[in-house]
Amino acid sequence: MTLRDIQKQVDEWASQFKLPYWQPLEILARLVEETGELARELNHRFGAKKKKETEPKGDLGDEITDVMFTLCCLANREGIDLQAEWDKMMGKKLYGRDNQRFERK
């Protein structure tokens, strides 16, 4: 599934509602919330703040996809083709400014 396919799937779901997408700052607030949930799970797994024994183990994949979904909503709302933007960004990583930036194996 491409990013374009994912955006289309999100748009098909959102289009069933009277207001398919929130305003950009509302989406940003949701993104911050979802990112906080991801950060909390990472902190429980790898940081100093471990979960209580009574707390269920979180789902890292679920938290990551919540962030992705919210980003797709923002991109769709603003008419941004994430596939095109991804390809452009990877061009910088593979062939442009970041090509020799990091030490290779």
Question: pLDDT (tens digit, 0 to 9) for every residue of the chain, 105 residues total?
Answer: 999 999 999 999 999 999 999 999 999 999 999 999 999 999 999 998 888 888 888 899 999 999 999 999 999 999 999 999 999 999 888 877 777 777 888
pLDDT for the residue 76: 98
pTM of the model: 0.88
Long-range CB contacts for residues 21-29, cutoff 8 Å, separation at least 24: 21/73, 21/74, 21/76, 21/77, 22/73, 22/77, 24/74, 24/77, 24/78, 27/70, 27/73, 27/74, 27/77, 28/74
How confident is the model at residue 52, as a pLDDT?
Answer: 84
**Per-residue pLDDT, 57:** 85
- pLDDT of 12: 98
